[in-house]
């Protein structure tokens, strides 16, 4: 069903975005990959089968003026636009007061303003039956301490997706959100900075998240939280903050143990 359909994937050169691109191209689609690092983009395009299957767009999605022009550039390269995957994201971890204003602003700009602007710029160009899928996070369902701004951007992205989805439904454009728990990618960066509790939930692979994204492109879904049980726990934790606070020490201990095991696996 994706034969010769064109998807614009931000953060498409690595991790979840690249896994989405692989599945999309394997299903017959063409992928426009957007990310900052030209060399990694070129490698990704080559791995997808070269210029007949994919194209690289070197851009920082936080450059909102450049981002506005991106959907039109994709249409001029491939002739159409069927799907947008708002996936690029950034996370400066740690207590709010230890972050710099520039780091906080970067998270808002990359994780929230960019998907809004890209949606705004893509909608007039999207084919009827087109879709927009946003990659948020469980941290946007139950805000995580030491990740206040990141959690807020992902909660905002979920809210944006629901509201704009209702606006765009009459135009035949669907909007969905995938909210994963921890995913085995380079996104963690320095593991010592990642809150232990993050590792308390089962780790997904980029392919599993990509499959959820593809599912949202195939059928009408508003939001997928994954893994399923983690999504339910996140909702419960949001609705009952005192329960969430009570469970915090136990989940952090469990997470610390799983984080050590993950670090060991990564070393070997």
Answer for the pair 119, 162: CB distance below 8 angstroms, yes or no: no
∠ CA 133-178-198, rounded to 5°? 145
Residue 240, classed as helix, strand or coil, is coil
Q: Binding of ligand NAP at residue 62 (CB under 6 A)?
A: yes
- Tell the smallest beta-carbon distance from residue 204 to ligand NAP (Å): 8
**Per-position b or e across 104-137, b if 16+ CB within 10 A of its CB:** bebbbbbbbbbbbbbbebbbebbeeebbbbbbbb
Binding residues among 113-152 for ligand NAP as defined by CB under 6 A: 135, 137
Binding residues among 177-196 for ligand NAP as defined by CB under 6 A: 180, 182-183, 185-187
- The residues that bridge with 8 in the sheet, in sequence order, are 32, 84
Show which residues are catalytic.
Answer: 150
82, two tokens? 């069927």
Closer to ligand NAP by CB, 10 or 200: give it.
10
Q: For 145, what's the count of Cα atoms within 13 Å in the CB-facing half-sphere?
A: 9
Q: Binding of ligand NAP at residue 60 (CB under 6 A)?
A: yes
Answer for the pair 136, 110: CB distance below 8 angstroms, yes or no: no
7, two tokens? 């998807």
Q: Binding of ligand NAP at residue 4 (CB under 6 A)?
A: no
Q: Which of 2, 5, 6, 17 binds ligand NAP (CB under 6 A)?
A: 17
String marking each residue 87-106 x if it binds ligand NAP according to CB under 6 A: xxxx----------------
Q: Binding of ligand NAP at residue 200 (CB under 6 A)?
A: no
Give contact residues for ligand NAP (rule: CB under 6 A).
Answer: 10-11, 13-17, 34-37, 40, 60-62, 87-90, 110, 135, 137, 180, 182-183, 185-187
């Amino acid at each position: 069903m994706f034969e010769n359909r064109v998807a614009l994937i931000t953060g498409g050169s690595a991790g979840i975005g690249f896994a989405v691109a692989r599945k999309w191209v394997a299903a017959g689609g063409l992928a426009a990959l957007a990310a900052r690092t030209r060399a990694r983009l070129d490698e990704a395009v080559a791995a997808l089968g070269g210029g007949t299957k994919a194209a690289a767009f070197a851009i920082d999605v936080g450059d909102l003026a450049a981002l506005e022009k991106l959907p039109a550039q994709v249409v001029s390269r491939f002739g159409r636009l069927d799907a947008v995957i708002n996936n690029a994201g950034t996370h400066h971890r740690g207590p709010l007061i230890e972050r710099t204003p520039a780091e906080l602003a970067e998270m808002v700009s990359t994780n929230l303003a960019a998907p809004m602007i890209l949606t705004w710029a893509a909608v007039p160009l999207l084919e009827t039956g087109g879709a927009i899928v946003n990659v948020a996070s469980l941290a946007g369902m139950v805000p995580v301490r030491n990740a206040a701004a990141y959690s807020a951007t992902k909660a905002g992205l979920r809210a944006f997706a629901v509201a704009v989805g209702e606006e765009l439904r009459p135009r035949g454009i669907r909007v969905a959100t995938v909210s994963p728990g921890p995913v085995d990618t380079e996104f963690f960066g320095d593991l010592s900075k990642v809150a232990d509790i993050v590792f308390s939930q089962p780790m997904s692979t980029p392919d599993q998240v990509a499959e959820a994204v593809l599912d949202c492109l195939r059928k009408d879904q508003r939001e997928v939280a994954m893994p399923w049980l983690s999504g339910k726990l996140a909702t419960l934790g949001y609705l009952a903050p005192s329960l969430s606070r009570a469970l915090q020490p136990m989940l952090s201990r469990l997470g610390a143990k799983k984080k050590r095991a993950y670090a060991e696996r990564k070393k070997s």
